[in-house]
Amino acid sequence: MVRGPLQAGERVTLTDTKGRRKSLLLREGGVWHTTKGAVSHDDLIGGPEGVTVTSVGGMTYLAFRPLLSEFMVSMPRDAAVIYPKDAAQILMWTDIFPGARVLEAGVGSGALSLALLRAIGPDGSLHSYERRERFADVARKNVETFLDGPHPAWTLTVGDLVEAIEHEPIDRVILDMLAPWECIDAVGERLVAGGVICCYVATATQLGRVADTLRAHGGFTEPHATETTVRDWHAEGLAIRPGHGTSGHTGFLIISRRLAHGVSAPIRKRRPSPGAYGPDYQGPRPANIPAELGGAPVKPAAADAAADD
């Protein structure tokens, strides 16, 4: 998409000579005050992006429209956002494609929603669920600000996912919430065979609970858990070294695929670690692991027959 001159009402990113960024919403007659003097918005409005603007105190700034990754970390928020490094992993690992039917729960401030909408395009569908109306309002405003209006493929529902989920089939599921394991049964009923589920959680305890719940469900492949870190590098002449900035832990991704409905996951060849399902473990137990190794106990046939009677 070719874009013309900068206009009032658009957001720009100003970067100083030390690489520090400032997100600015342009308005006619507006002024941005800095420790190095003021910058007039009118010096940018009507001109192209990729130019420099100088403050009264002599500080020079580069002016560009923000990239999506820049907007995601600088936009207004009431809830924590999924950062670009994790959003990029989600898009790739879940194989989001143009036209995909995607369900997202825990919309937060709308950062991941923007990345998903760009990937699915106008022919796909993204149904986002958010329990808190305040967060939903912020997310809607952020999405419409970046896209200059509503996206035709986006539906935002305020409510609990398990209670409000619709019955249409879905291709991909992304859960970003405190207890995603509570929603696995509900989304599993609607996720098509071969579909992908991705849960984004912050702690190792949540990671373990999600993985165990997927195993205990029986209708998903063995979950794959990852953590992504990003390290900057400095390269100038002979001075090539790791940079001082490192983006460390933000969250874990747990990814699995839906088996055909009615098909159970095959018995795992790899035995669980000793003590993995010991007496202190209180979570869900996979049914396809022998009981002596900590799997869910299997009722004797006689007991099943009696129960049927």
pLDDT at 188: 95
Q: Which residue has the higher pLDDT, 123 or 281?
A: 123
Dist. CA 255–CA 214, nearest whole Å:
10
pLDDT digits (tens, 9 = 90+) for 259-282: 998 888 777 666 677 667 777 777
Does position 302 have pLDDT exceeding 60, yes or no? no
pLDDT at 88: 96
Residues 60 and 167 in one domain: no
Name the residue with tokens 């063995």: 222
Calculate what percentage of the chain has a pLDDT beyond 70. Answer: 89
Does position 305 have pLDDT exceeding 60, yes or no? no
- Give me the CATH number covering residue 15: 3.10.330.20
Residues 127 and 192 in one domain: yes
Instruction: Say if 6 falls within a structural domain.
Output: no
- Beta strand pairing status for 239-247 and 230-236? antiparallel
Dist. CA 308–CA 124, nearest whole Å:
45
Residues 93 and 216 in one domain: yes
Sign of CA dihedral 265, 271, 274, 279: positive
- Give me the CATH number covering residue 135: 3.40.50.150
Last residue of a domain, one of 47, 66, 85: 66
Q: Mean pLDDT: which of 2-11, 30-39, 188-197, 228-237 is highest?
A: 188-197
pLDDT at 292: 59
State which residues form the domain around 297. 267-309
Dist. CA 45–CA 308, nearest whole Å:
76
> Could you tell me which of 72, 57, 58 has the C-alpha nearest to residue 21?
72
Residues 232 and 158 in one domain: yes
Residues 105 and 235 in one domain: yes
Residues 89 and 232 in one domain: yes
Residues 90 and 19 in one domain: no
Instruction: Say if 34 falls within a structural domain.
Output: yes
Q: How many domains does the chain have?
A: 3
Does 160 appear as a known binding residue? yes
Note the helical H segments in the chain.
68-74, 84-93, 111-120, 133-147, 161-164, 184-190, 204-217, 301-308
Provide CB contacts within 8 A for 10, sequence distance 6+.
Answer: 25, 26, 65
Residues 167 and 109 in one domain: yes
Does position 303 have pLDDT exceeding 50, yes or no? no
Residues 220 and 295 in one domain: no
- In this structure, the dihedral spanned by the alpha carbons of residues 23, 27, 30 and 31, taken in order and rounded to 10 degrees, is 20
Does 304 appear as a known binding residue? no
Does position 68 have pLDDT exceeding 50, yes or no? yes
Mean pLDDT of 134-156: 94
**Model confidence band, residue 114 (pLDDT cutoffs 50, 70, 90):** very high
Instruction: Say if 2 falls within a structural domain.
Output: no
Structure tokens at 291: 């009981």
Does position 56 have pLDDT exceeding 50, yes or no? yes
pLDDT at 297: 56
Identity of residue 63: A
Dist. CA 246–CA 268, nearest whole Å:
37
Instruction: Say if 82 falls within a structural domain.
Output: yes
What pTM was estimated for this model as a whole? 0.82
Residues 196 and 230 in one domain: yes
Does 111 appear as a known binding residue? yes
Does position 291 have pLDDT exceeding 70, yes or no? no
Dist. CA 309–CA 301, nearest whole Å:
13
Instruction: Say if 31 falls within a structural domain.
Output: yes
Instruction: Say if 294 falls within a structural domain.
Output: yes
Does 112 appear as a known binding residue? yes
pLDDT at 304: 41
